[in-house]
Structure 1
Amino acid sequence: MNFEKDDAVLLDSLSDVKKELKKKMKKKSSGHLPFLSENDKQCIHLIREQTRQLNQNNVTRTQAYFQFYLQYPEIHWALLGHMISRNVGWNMTDLKGELLMKLLPERDQKAFFSFLERGSWLIFQDVYPQFSVYDLSVRGRREMFHLLPFFYTSTFMETIWRYFWRSGDSYTLAIAMVINEQSYLEKELIQNNHFKKTVTGTVSFKMYEFLRLNNIIFPYCAGEKREKASLAGATSRHFTSLHERILFGKKLYSLLFQRDEILARVLKWAHEHPHTGSRKDYWPDLFNDINESFPRSLYKRRVKNCVLRKGAERLYSPPLKYAWPNTPHEEAKSGDWFEDWHVLDYIHKEVSLDGEILNNYCKTLETIELAVMAKEALLLREEE
């Protein structure tokens, strides 16, 4: 990374980052942006256009993260973002899948999708220009982070990118990106009054959390002869808490990047299974992207310990392109979330995670089945 020295502030340690952030807080953006050359202007235009094209839907975003990681494996968040984005896609298609279609009213299905899609879109339009500016910097062998304010990147991340350029500290960059993206989501999505009313404040959302539908799973290749992927992961709790989401992101990072055998096998699996949004991607013996059941029949239990019961049809899990259309988005409001340099403290806090998710995930599937059957029984009683 240390291609050449320039006039930028040398940020050689986190104490330098802290000093720089304190300084920026005192100045608190005067609104003056740096001078741009014609080449700078052209780069900004191209980055905006490329980001727009890749931000069409969850599948295009997820693939873009993976391609970037393959090009720049030192940017750990790109792989973490790719795997979490796969989970977001699965959560989106679940809303039109076998179980949740029967459990959630259509109004809630649409509202939940809108919430997930907006969050996914917001993060991509914030993070992908940062990746593109890093790509420009590497290709030109000089840092170009003066372009970041033109994409409304937080002063926090601008400072961290300069630090990374000098230090090559992949861990700190990754955790800083977790802090940044969750803080940005807090401002733009979680505190949005529309989504408070239609999603996070609803009975359906509380049921969603109660049923533990917020599992994040990392499929990985278990061995040469086994087709069924093994799973590592964790369950997110208190989704509306910024503090909890940042700690959860750190746990997922440690699971992926501090256990070499998991990283290698997750990468192998991701290479071999392009993201479609269907859960068939990782467990084709349990999920299918074609609906095998009769539409009007009452639901009967099909799953035990993540294995189909004898004679049962696979659970329907559609690809994203058949579940939801591409969604137009309003431009995000500009405005920096960064107000307190103490967020740097998250970088130092140690977290550990055993990654055991299979038992919890299997129980979740069975619990949802029971909830579907209970709802159908209730509706039958009401009709009698």
Structure 2
Amino acid sequence: MPFLLDSFSDVKKELKKKMKKKSSGLLPCLSENDKQCIHHIREQTRQLNQNNIARTQAYFQFYLKHPEIHWALLGHMVSRNVGWNMTDLKGELLTKLLPERDQIAFFSFLERGSWLIFQDVYPQFLVYDLSVRCSQEMFHLLPHLSTSTFMETLWRYFWHSGDSYTLAIATVINEQSYLEKRLIQNNHFKNTVTGTVSLKMYDFLRLNNILFPYCEEEKREKTSLVGATSRHFTSLHERILFGKKLYSLLFQREKILAGVMKWAHERPHTGSRKDYWPDLFNDVNESFPRSLYKRRVKNCVLRKGAERLYSPPLKYAWPNTPHEDAESGDWFEDWHVLDYIHKEVSLNGEILNNYCKTLETIELAVMAKEALLLREEE
């Protein structure tokens, strides 16, 4: 019989106990029905984990079914941004700045992170959905799906408390901790992405904006944006706090939540930035391939007579990628990570000026690179 987790202090006690009593690695036997459930959950997760488009849609569909699971919407919106970052690598500007080797390295990094998170979190969602349908908790299945003992404890707490906020922030903690060794500290990605000059350039060009497009009643003709810029991406601490800020932006302002939901309903995710700003981006390339780049954007508006920026749909930019199985092991070692749940964060959500400057900075970098290449040819 699982320990009843009715309060947050119960969660703390349970996690302290689990830290002292390390698992032997032996899991209890499952019934035939449980085995079938696990097989179905794994298969469903595998089918939906083919690419960024499928994952992003799966998060949204789950949120529509279970709006009490806030992280599903947060995951959907962040996943849209990952898709835009992926297609930027094959879009108008970055193809002129980054060599193909770096484009592939960055895509592989984004795709691996996106794949890892989905194959960890989506089985948890399916176990919750199963619990709701059975009217009894089924969280004993989670260890068999390689879920952290931290999340198993927090799902049990959520089942009894209905505390959507705590579950969402716990999921942020879990997913970023899960990525730490498997992606950020992974030797391959250290050599190709996180420890490279290209990543420093990525930071310099401010390419780490997270945008939440939303519909405002008074601005029907154009999508509004809120968001934030991620700093120190290689710091686990900073990534968790950043996730909390994004959560507060989405769920602590009713107007923004309603506007984001309206926008997400009306705009299926394609990976092209045309999804939110069709007057600035197009999924068809309007420019001549060999012409020198001239500035086209000022304050996020096209200059007179300028072509829109090319932003391809994901299905044309990158093929589906096969993945090796995720590395085993539970990241949970210290119950003090619970402190993040009640740590105060603040975020005003102002992103437009920063984002407009980002586009202009990248344009200038493209023009500087082309001028340098011309000089070398002379």
Structure 1 residue runs of 5 or longer lacking an equivalent are: 1-6
Offset, 1:225: 5.8
Deviations 1:148-181 (A, max 9, x none): 0111100000000000000000000000000000
Matched residues, number: 378
The aligned counterpart of 1:119 is: 113
Counterpart amino acid of residue 81 in structure 2: N
The aligned counterpart of 2:17 is: 23
User: 2:29 aligns to what SS in structure 1?
Assistant: coil
- Provide the C-alpha distance between the structure 1 equivalents of 2:282 and 2:233, rounded to a whole number of angstroms: 29
The aligned counterpart of 1:202 is: 196
The aligned counterpart of 2:222 is: 228
The aligned counterpart of 2:205 is: 211
User: 1:247 aligns to what SS in structure 2?
Assistant: helix
The aligned counterpart of 2:327 is: 333
Counterpart amino acid of residue 86 in structure 2: M
Counterpart amino acid of residue 7 in structure 2: S
Offset, 1:105: 0.4
The aligned counterpart of 1:322 is: 316
The aligned counterpart of 1:165 is: 159
Counterpart amino acid of residue 117 in structure 1: E
Structure 2 residue runs of 5 or longer lacking an equivalent are: none
1:87 aligns with 2:81: yes
The aligned counterpart of 1:49 is: 43
- Aligned mate of 1:348, from 330, 342, 346: 342
User: 1:83 aligns to what SS in structure 2?
Assistant: helix
- Provide the C-alpha distance between the structure 2 equivalents of 1:13 and 1:108, rounded to a whole number of angstroms: 48
1:239 aligns with 2:237: no
Identical positions, percent: 89
Offset, 1:116: 0.1
Deviations 1:288-342 (A, max 9, x none): 0000000011000000000000000000000000000000000001100000000
- Provide the C-alpha distance between the structure 1 equivalents of 2:344 and 2:226, rounded to a whole number of angstroms: 19
- Provide the C-alpha distance between the structure 2 equivalents of 1:348 and 1:18, rounded to a whole number of angstroms: 13
- Provide the C-alpha distance between the structure 1 equivalents of 2:39 and 2:4, rounded to a whole number of angstroms: 28
1:68–1:78 CA contact under 8 A, matched in 2: yes
- Provide the C-alpha distance between the structure 2 equivalents of 1:46 and 1:256, rounded to a whole number of angstroms: 32
The aligned counterpart of 1:153 is: 147
Counterpart amino acid of residue 56 in structure 2: T
- Provide the C-alpha distance between the structure 1 equivalents of 2:233 and 2:26, rounded to a whole number of angstroms: 36
The aligned counterpart of 2:290 is: 296
Counterpart amino acid of residue 344 in structure 1: L
Describe how 1:4-15 pairs up with structure 2 within 5 A: 7-15=1-9
The aligned counterpart of 1:366 is: 360
User: 2:228 aligns to what SS in structure 1?
Assistant: strand
User: 1:125 aligns to what SS in structure 2?
Assistant: helix
Offset, 1:31: 1.0
The aligned counterpart of 1:3 is: none
Offset, 1:349: 0.4
Gap change, CA 1:123 and 1:155, over 3 Å in 2: same
The aligned counterpart of 2:185 is: 191
- Provide the C-alpha distance between the structure 2 equivalents of 1:41 and 1:224, rounded to a whole number of angstroms: 52
Deviations 1:41-93 (A, max 9, x none): 00000000000000000000000000000000000000000000000000000
Offset, 1:223: 2.6
- Provide the C-alpha distance between the structure 2 equivalents of 1:305 and 1:82, rounded to a whole number of angstroms: 27
User: 2:103 aligns to what SS in structure 1?
Assistant: helix
Counterpart amino acid of residue 361 in structure 1: Y
The aligned counterpart of 1:177 is: 171
- Provide the C-alpha distance between the structure 1 equivalents of 2:218 and 2:92, rounded to a whole number of angstroms: 31
User: 2:210 aligns to what SS in structure 1?
Assistant: strand
- Provide the C-alpha distance between the structure 2 equivalents of 1:381 and 1:318, rounded to a whole number of angstroms: 31
Give the stretch that moved more between structures: 22-31 or 325-334: 22-31
- Provide the C-alpha distance between the structure 2 equivalents of 1:187 and 1:343, rounded to a whole number of angstroms: 16
Offset, 1:222: 2.2
1:228–1:284 CA contact under 8 A, matched in 2: no
Give the stretch that moved more between structures: 199-208 or 128-137: 199-208
User: 2:268 aligns to what SS in structure 1?
Assistant: coil
